Amino acid sequence: LLPKLKKYYDPANTKKLQIIAISIDDNKQDVLNAIHDHGYRWINIAELKGWDGPIVEQYNVSATPTFYLLDKDKKIIAKNI
């Protein structure tokens, strides 16, 4: 799904759409390679703790990919189930 999102993302217009990707990988080079190879120019975060990272627990992530849609006030308004 990330390649499809790339079509809609314009780094020059992040007021319209901002994407923040959070990787659950535990290997920094794997994360950097994916960002480089696929040209993901949005914000990319990696705790490098795999499934043991605090974001996984805080947002109850149980599978990948998991998506959350936030409004302009950063309130979650939709998520995949």
Looking at residue 33, its pLDDT comes to 96
pLDDT higher than threshold 90 for residue 28: yes
Question: pTM here?
Answer: 0.81
Q: CA angle, corner 6, sides to 54 and 49, nearest 5?
A: 20
Alpha-carbon distance 72 to 49, whole Å? 29
Predicted confidence band of residue 43 (pLDDT cuts 50, 70, 90): very high
Alpha-carbon distance 9 to 75, whole Å? 20
DSSP 11: T
Looking at residue 16, its pLDDT comes to 86
Looking at residue 37, its pLDDT comes to 95
